[in-house]
Amino acid sequence: MYLYNTTFVVTPAIKDKFIAWAKDQYIATALDSGIFYSPILSRILAEHEPGTVAYALQMRAKSVNEANAWHESAGDDMRKICSMKWGDSFLHFSTFMQIVG
């Protein structure tokens, strides 16, 4: 089993809009693919860039190949939408992990 984690760093000015978009658009699109399940959107409490708020979106997947294919196609499209909407107020990076316990 695999975990697909995307960390989003946003400015406080857009955080409420970002959270709504993540729930209504990004997570919904990922779940509709049939590849991901059990999404968790969390606020990261560790220190990060001053003047920003960070969130981690974690979703489980049975296949790393399918998850990676989604990441490079539909996921990339979704993140591009964020970049167009919010420009420099938005940053993201993703990590694939294998669940071992």
Q: Which long-range contacts (CB under 8 A, 24 or more apart) does 71-79 make?
A: 71/4, 71/96, 74/29, 74/30, 74/33, 75/6, 75/30, 78/25, 78/26, 78/29, 79/6
pTM: predicted TM-score of the whole model, two decimal places: 0.90
> Please, what is the average pLDDT of the chain?
93
**Once rounded to an integer, what is the mean pLDDT over residues 71-90?**
88
Confidence of residue 10 (pLDDT cuts 50, 70, 90): very high
**Once rounded to an integer, what is the mean pLDDT over residues 75-93?**
87
Q: For residue range 18-67, what is the model confidence (pLDDT) as tens digits?
A: 999 999 999 999 999 999 999 999 999 987 788 899 999 999 999 999 99
Residue 68 has pLDDT above 90, yes or no: yes
